[in-house]
Amino acid sequence: MKAAVLETFHQPLVIRELDLAEPGPGEVTVEVKASGLCLTDVHISEGKVPTVKLPLVPGHETAGVVARRGPGVTEVEAGDRVTVFVDVSCGRCDFCLRGETNRCMALRRIGFERNGGMAEFVNVPAANVERIADRVSFEKAAIIPDAVASIYRGLKTVGGVGVGSKVAILGVGGLGIQGVKIARLLGAQVTCTDLDDRKLERARSFGAVHTINPRRESFLDAVRQRIGSFDVVVDNVGRKETVFEAVAACRNGGRVVAMGYVDPVLEIPSYEIVIKEKQVLGCRACTRGEFREIVGLVNSGQLDPDIGELVPIGNVNEALDNLRHGRYLTRTVLTLPFGRQ
């Protein structure tokens, strides 16, 4: 089969033939139709994810069709249209037994520590696939496992967002923009920030009430003058300043959901945490149970994932370069199969 392979860090992916193993016990082979592109793929290609060993087929946002079943698989059938949960958890550790699969002690992630979806086929545990409805395109289904599911957990589970919540989403790129739709679906009033006015315009079109471009006005001044404070602030940026401001913009007892980690150390005034009882909570990916919920919301038509450019997988290196330079407005999706070369 053909695959896009990361053979050397800081070098373009190499499109070449790879052997496709038979699906093992409990596994299925998925014929990939679409693979979402994430900024983490840029970080992986630059050697910034320490658990990645080369060579690797990247791609952790996968949708396609079940092509073959390994021994013992009865949950899905050949021909089923599916999207693929990223985390392959052990099922036995203390966290897995609690249902906290995203905290598994022996986690191996598709597209990180095992081969991912930037290939004609990928073998994954049958337990990782969820069927998608006929109405849902492969391209939209592909971005559910990360861009949609991660911020769903951030808003709903970690942030506790519900009807009437006042929510701010800092940074509305490919992941944050899904958050606008999800927060609206949960019944929240949404404010967004971004340095790119086009992204703010897109957020407004999906129901964001207030938008703030920190290039033109101070975020905290704008919040004080126009909004007051937030119950929940989701920070997708992960810089010292954004987290500091997120905490300041929360109501007493409010929650900051930290989803980015650019600066290695954050500084938060103890007065805000102790006396005002504000909470800063980390959030990584989502659990298997949350993945099932969010696929259900997409399958039923309640949530429509936002995708932008569709790029043939043969142009993956150009797409990674565009992503690295911030040229995409929202989530970009690679389409398969590979063209003739």
Q: Applying CB under 5 A, which residues contact Zn ion?
A: 38, 40, 89-90, 93, 96, 104, 146
Closest approach of Zn ion to the CB of residue 305, in Å:
14
> Phi, psi (5° rounding) for residue 95?
-70, -45
Coil, strand or helix: which one is 315? Answer: helix
Q: How far, in Å, CA of 223 to CA of 144, rounded?
A: 31
- Can you read off the two tokens belonging to residue 270? 């103890």
For Zn ion, give the closer residue by CB, 212 or 307: 307
Alpha-carbon separation of residue 121 from 23, 35, 126, 187, 258 (angstroms): 11, 11, 14, 39, 34
Closest approach of Zn ion to the CB of residue 313, in Å:
17
For Zn ion, give the closer residue by CB, 93 or 227: 93
* Closest by CA position to 129, among listed 197, 192, 75, 59: 75
For Zn ion, give the closer residue by CB, 94 or 318: 94
For Zn ion, give the closer residue by CB, 58 or 64: 58
Closest approach of Zn ion to the CB of residue 50, in Å:
16
Question: Which is it for strands 210-212 and 129-131: parallel, antiparallel or unpaired?
Answer: unpaired
Q: Is the dihedral of CA 17, 43, 27, 297 positive or negative?
A: negative
For Zn ion, give the closer residue by CB, 138 or 230: 138
Give the count of beta carbons closer than 10 Å to the beta carbon of residue 12: 15
Q: How far, in Å, CA of 82 to CA of 249, rounded?
A: 40
Coil, strand or helix: which one is 189? Answer: strand
For Zn ion, give the closer residue by CB, 15 or 90: 90
* Closest by CA position to 123, among listed 72, 54, 68: 68
Closest approach of Zn ion to the CB of residue 311, in Å:
16
Closest approach of Zn ion to the CB of residue 111, in Å:
8
Closest approach of Zn ion to the CB of residue 43, in Å:
9
